Amino acid sequence: MTLQTPSTTTAAFARKTIPIKVIGVGGAGITVLDQLQRGGLAGVDFAAINTDPASLAATAAAEKLHLETRLLRGMGSGGDPDRGRTAAQENLPRLKSLCEGKDVIFIIAGLGGGAGTGISPVLARAAKETGALVIGFVMTPFDCEGTRRQRIALQGLNDLQAAADGLICLPNQKVFKLIDENTTALETFRITNEYLCDGVRSFWRLLTCTGLIDIHFDDLCQLLRDRHTENAFAVAEAAGATRSREVAEKLLAHPMLDAGQMLAEADALMISIMGGPDLTMAEVNRVMEQINRHCEHAQVVLGAAIDEAFRDRMAVTVIAARKSIEPGEGRLLPSAPHEMTDQSIREAVTARPASRFAMPSAPADLTDPSSVPGTGLSRQHRKPARMLQAQLPLESASKGRFDKSEPNIHKGEDLDLPTYVRRGVALN
């Protein structure tokens, strides 16, 4: 962290030149990418990847990568993440070429479908092989989208968490805390997309803006590199004389931070404070005091920048990284209440009832009739062409409520015995 002299706090940003590329994967990722491009991120390159050529044709991204295989035949992944993964693996050199020369790669995707879920982890590994810092920004489905999409999203989330350096996940279901009964479906999806855009912008500011308090790129790499953390983020804004107090209160009550619970669970925090030329150090300190009170043991990376457009107002973005989870250990997000996990499936399987017969400790050798009690045959007189079926010396278990019932005798045969025993049929 570097404190800049007053001469550097100009009305406009002083940009650091860090090669950054934002890649939208799949239909949902490309939609967020287009919304992000309209807001403008200086010095950032944009690229789109999909198995569906129609969505690529509609995007304004400068670079477009259509992943096609003989299996897909131009019809996309069909919601199957295995098809998306296969397409990415078969085009691995093209993915690496797309990431070459960049220090930071942002991957934006919606999980639960085929392209975003299947391609994103492969892309993250390819980007890391080029030496880039890789951060994923993803959305998981609404509960109403069904358990199948939830399970696919959960698996994709774990795969991407194991491949990327950092992961920011927005569970779409949490957006219900931010809308009311009259919010339309189109407006709801616009809100979810905008929240993901806010996360990308916040990281971009942390990386590129030289302001009141500067963050070195090496510091951010050290915080994220190979930690495979899961992150939550929130953005709050306020204006006027009490803006610092109001913005802190909004953050601590923010639903995306579980009303402050995420701050208590985090082991690392990245905080970006944006204000106008009238932003004071006392206001920065006041906000940080409120946040630090809820996360005393977390490592904090703070950035504060000045922009003329934020005169008389203040915006604070908090990115909270949960305690590190080793790749493949545990699950990142709780399952939907109706989701069947492996454990619940095993518990739901009814145990088989006990057999009516108990196996003896040493079963008779059926290939040798002389070993079967009651046959009276020796090995010398046994006919090799015919095998005799004898009843195994099995101890019959109790018949329960039918224990005192009379046996079913028909034409001298006990029908309670298995047919193969009564007719002498050899099982082998």
How far is the C-alpha of 412 from the C-alpha of 189, rounded, in Å?
Answer: 77
Band of pLDDT at residue 346, cut at 50, 70 and 90: very low
Phi and psi at residue 211, in whole multiples of 5°?
A: -145, -140
- In the predicted structure, residue 74 carries a pLDDT above the cut 60: no
pLDDT at 24: 94
Task: Give tens-digit pLDDT for 108-142.
Answer: 999 998 888 999 999 999 999 999 989 999 999 98
Q: What is the 3-state secondary structure (H, E, C) of 253-293?
A: CCHHHCCCHHHHHEEEEEEEEEECCCCCHHHHHHHHHHHHC
Task: Give tens-digit pLDDT for 281-322.
Answer: 899 999 999 888 888 788 888 888 888 888 899 989 888 877
Q: Which of 251-260, 286-295, 418-427 has the highest mean pLDDT?
A: 286-295
- In the predicted structure, residue 414 carries a pLDDT above the cut 80: no
Are the C-beta atoms of 273 and 300 separated by less than 8 Å? Answer: no
How far is the C-alpha of 98 from the C-alpha of 112, rounded, in Å?
Answer: 24
Band of pLDDT at residue 405, cut at 50, 70 and 90: low
Mean pLDDT across 94-112: 93
Which run of H or of E encompasses 243? helix 243-252
Band of pLDDT at residue 345, cut at 50, 70 and 90: very low
- In the predicted structure, residue 404 carries a pLDDT above the cut 70: no
Q: How many CA atoms lie within 13 A of 111 on its CB side?
A: 29
Are the C-beta atoms of 156 and 186 separated by less than 8 Å? Answer: no
- In the predicted structure, residue 13 carries a pLDDT above the cut 90: no
pLDDT at 327: 42
Local structure of residue 165 (DSSP, 8 states): S
Per-residue burial over 297-329, b = 16 or more CB atoms within 10 Å of its CB, e = otherwise: ebeebbbbbbbeebeebbbbbbbbbbeebeeee
* Residue 204: closest CA among 168, 161, 244: 168
Are the C-beta atoms of 33 and 58 separated by less than 8 Å? Answer: no
Torsional class of 419: left (φ above 0), alpha (ψ -120 to 50), beta (otherwise): alpha
SS3 assignment, position 14: strand
* Residue with the larger pLDDT of the pair 382 and 291: 291
Are the C-beta atoms of 357 and 393 separated by less than 8 Å? Answer: no
How far is the C-alpha of 137 from the C-alpha of 43, rounded, in Å?
Answer: 19
Band of pLDDT at residue 70, cut at 50, 70 and 90: low
How far is the C-alpha of 119 from the C-alpha of 25, rounded, in Å?
Answer: 7
pLDDT at 97: 93
Task: Give tens-digit pLDDT for 211-230.
Answer: 667 777 777 777 666 655 66
CA angle 76, 130, 317 (to 5 degrees): 80
User: What distances in angstroms separate CA 122 from CA 74, 118, 151, one per listed residue?
Assistant: 20, 7, 19
Q: Tokens standing for 58?
A: 């509609």
Are the C-beta atoms of 132 and 165 separated by less than 8 Å? Answer: no
Percent of the chain with pLDDT over 70: 70
Mean pLDDT across 48-62: 87
- In the predicted structure, residue 210 carries a pLDDT above the cut 70: no
CB atoms under 10 Å from CB of 224, counted, come to: 23
- The per-residue pLDDT of the chain, averaged, comes to 76
Are the C-beta atoms of 127 and 216 separated by less than 8 Å? Answer: no
Torsional class of 364: left (φ above 0), alpha (ψ -120 to 50), beta (otherwise): beta
pLDDT at 177: 79
* Residue with the larger pLDDT of the pair 398 and 194: 194
Percent of the chain with pLDDT over 90: 20
Domains and CATH numbers, the chain: 15-208 (3.40.50.1440), 231-328 (3.30.1330.20), 354-428 (no CATH)
Q: Tokens standing for 197?
A: 């855009």
Mean pLDDT across 406-428: 74
pLDDT at 360: 45
Residues 6+ apart with CB under 8 A from 12: 307, 308
pLDDT at 427: 67
Residues recorded for the chain: 428
